[in-house]
Amino acid sequence: MSSYAKRLWLEEDLGDDYRWSYRVSAVLFSGRSSYQEVDLVDTPTWGKVLLLDGKMQSTEADEQVYHELLVHPPLLHHPNPKRVFIMGGGEGATAREVLRHRSVEEVVMVDIDKVVTDFCAEHLERNKSAFRDPRLRLINDDARSQLEAAPDSCFDIIISDLADPLEGGPCYQLYTQEFYKNVVLRKLAPGGIFVTQSGPAGILSCREVFTAINATLRSVFPSVVPYAQHIPSFCDAWGYNMSFTDPKQVPLSAELFDAQIEDRISSLPLSFLDGATFTGLRQLNKTVRTALAEETEVYTISTARFIHGGGVKMSA
């Protein structure tokens, strides 16, 4: 890709008949692991951009939005989170946010691709401290097998920061009812909380996977809280689902949410998330609320849905 660096535009398919593009000012790394293509590019708008198999994973400009929303709601809702399991998260940003919580004693992060984790530990400045933190135990292996091998009831929080459920890819099996019921639920300690990124959640895209993931979780957990936020580099609202094992657990008020941040999180303040913001993110628009209410299909191995979109194409 480097020969195109000075005149390169990268295009990413967002659907069957539309795509978006952005200009690249430099190609900082381009390689391939046993599992996927790995690229790091510099862009005028987004700063450094990490690409896996040609799909934008995160950007310097707005990655903190995605990761703060994935990590802090479940940890702030738990009374005393000590042990956290991360599925995926190879770039290290999810672990970085988890490790900001003073109560956390151990983070087990399992990402299958050692090339990605080694590369991100070396090149992504924001995340270097997470990889060096003694509380982090990084395992390069299959997330499902590692979680299955863990003792039952051993994690306070389980975070799914996996790739989107793509047709032909292995990750869709980790969005299924079978996995949530037979693995995730069993490994959570009493009062444990599970959160997963859940794909696009806009008015035109929410039925791709967001509503089905929500319905699947509701078939397993007694209480599920969906929320969403527009993420500029994803060109859409992005959905999350936070699942409680305690049926009496309810979302925190904005005031208590802010008090938990003040009491529990060390170092710099959160850049995006606070109590008022999280309260607002749970107020989904009517179109998305209707789609969630109407959804009846749950993910199984044989009935999975897949997300649209494709990798990067180069053009001068």
Active site residues: 161
Task: Give the C-alpha separation, 124 to 276, whole Å.
Answer: 30
Q: What's the Cα-to-Cα distance from 67 to each of 160, 176, 253, rounded to whole Å?
A: 11, 23, 21
Q: Answer for the pair 263, 76: CB distance below 8 angstroms, yes or no.
A: no
Q: CB within 8 A of 252, min separation 6: which ones?
A: 76, 77, 260, 275, 278
Q: From 94, 100, 102, 107, select the one nearest 67 (Cα to Cα).
A: 94
Angle (CA) 233 26 14, round 5°: 30
Q: Answer for the pair 53, 90: CB distance below 8 angstroms, yes or no.
A: no
Buried b (16+ CB within 10 A) or exposed e, 86-119: bbbbbbbbbbbbbbbbeebeebbbbbbbbbbbeb
Task: Give the C-alpha separation, 227 to 306, whole Å.
Answer: 20
* Tokens (6 digits) for 105: 């004693």
Q: From 153, 171, 151, 152, select the one nearest 162 (Cα to Cα).
A: 171
Q: Answer for the pair 210, 200: CB distance below 8 angstroms, yes or no.
A: yes
